[in-house]
């Protein structure tokens, strides 16, 4: 397939607080050149990229999705990028005093069996619960969050790995967390995300939903929400990342959600609340990817430099999409 690079420049972006300003700007032209080069090397059916550095935002796109050319307003599936939204909602619930991260999971979901009594909410947040991944393809794709809850009620895990003992990435935990925040706020998870995050940040083409909000010929994702379920555009996603860089959400919520966890013996982890946090020459690098049956996604933030990259794709290689996001962010930081 031949790819035609289509780049649109946009200046400005979401309103930022004065504290978001810095003197190390990089021109749109410089971002444009490197974006065109990197995007032209990606092999995918359709891919959209947004790069922002303070008030400079550049979009790039190639290929098509559902028979239409991709652009920054094309709705695509974000898969596990949804986890950071659940992390934010959980942080909001804790800051509001509804729960604490040390609360038992079964305190919020009492229908779960007693053998899960040792699992705390923080174990789910940081993937240290010891649970099996109910959403794994070899167990069949669950049709809903209710399916996950039912499976856990009917199937006692023969040897539950002691919670807090080791890190093991686990989609089940974020399905359960979505159910917890839904119950403590007494709202379905989709409308809750709209009210608490999407609407305040003007993400008008973003949904947390088990059902695709658009007609698509692409692979249908699972019916669970929390581990996945995010439908969005690169335009909305880069606006969201820029808003986080500019502290447009509650700083206490953001601080909590960006704080990495630890094992019960005190060993530190690089996984926070739905995002990975690592060190880079430009300061903290906050990232997460998403993958499902050809749908690929990546978000990267360098908050100390107010840089963000969002990538959404159908087709292609997971490693290539992930590297595209991190390489673009690092290049912009080096150019400042």
pLDDT value of position 236:
97
Its domain, for residue 98, covers 6-325
* Residue 227 covered by a domain: yes
Q: What is the pTM (predicted TM-score) of this model?
A: 0.92
Q: Are 65 and 58 in contact (CB under 8 A)?
A: no
Instruction: Provide the domain count of the chain.
Output: 1
Structure tokens at 188: 């379905």
Structure tokens at 142: 């669950």
* Residue 334 covered by a domain: no
* Residue 335 covered by a domain: no
* Residue 330 covered by a domain: no
* Residue 336 covered by a domain: no
* Residue 198 covered by a domain: yes
Q: Are 314 and 48 in contact (CB under 8 A)?
A: no
Share of the chain above pLDDT 90, in %: 71
pLDDT under 50: residue ranges of the chain: 1-19, 23
pLDDT value of position 192:
98
* Residue 150 covered by a domain: yes
* Residue 332 covered by a domain: no
pLDDT value of position 16:
42
CATH number of residue 60's parent domain: 3.40.710.10
Output Rg (C-alpha) for the chain, integer angstroms.
Answer: 19
């Amino acid at each position: 397939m031949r790819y035609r690079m289509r780049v649109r420049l946009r200046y400005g972006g979401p309103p930022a607080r004065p504290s978001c300003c810095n003197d190390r700007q990089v021109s749109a032209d410089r971002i444009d050149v490197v974006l065109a080069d990197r995007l032209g090397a990606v092999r995918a059916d359709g891919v959209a990229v947004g790069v922002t550095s303070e008030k400079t935002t550049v979009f790039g796109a190639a290929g098509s999705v559902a028979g239409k050319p991709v652009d920054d307003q094309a709705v695509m599936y974000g898969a596990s990028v949804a986890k950071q939204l659940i992390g934010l909602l959980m942080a909001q619930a804790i800051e509001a005093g509804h729960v604490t991260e040390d609360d038992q999971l079964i305190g919020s979901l009492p229908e779960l069996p007693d053998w899960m009594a040792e699992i705390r909410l923080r174990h789910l947040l940081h993937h240290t619960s010891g649970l099996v991944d109910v959403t794994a393809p070899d167990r069949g794709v669950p049709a809903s969050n209710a399916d996950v809850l039912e499976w856990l009620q009917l199937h006692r895990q023969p040897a539950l790995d002691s919670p807090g003992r080791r890190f093991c990435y686990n989609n089940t935990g974020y399905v359960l967390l979505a159910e917890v925040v839904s119950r403590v706020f007494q709202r379905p998870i989709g409308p809750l995300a709209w009210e608490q995050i999407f609407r305040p940040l003007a993400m008008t083409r973003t949904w947390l939903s088990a059902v695709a909000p658009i007609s698509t010929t692409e692979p249908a994702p699972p019916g669970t929400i929390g581990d996945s379920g995010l439908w969005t555009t690169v335009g909305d996603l880069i606006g969201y990342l820029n808003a986080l860089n500019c502290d447009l959400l509650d700083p206490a919520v953001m601080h909590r959600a960006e704080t990495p966890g630890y094992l019960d013996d005190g060993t530190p982890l690089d996984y926070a609340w739905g995002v990975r946090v690592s060190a880079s020459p430009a300061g903290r690098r906050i990232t997460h990817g998403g993958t499902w049956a050809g749908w690929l996604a990546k978000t990267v933030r360098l908050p100390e430099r107010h840089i963000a990259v969002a990538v959404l794709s159908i087709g292609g290689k997971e490693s290539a999409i992930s590297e595209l996001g991190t390489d673009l962010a690092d290049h912009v930081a080096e150019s400042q």
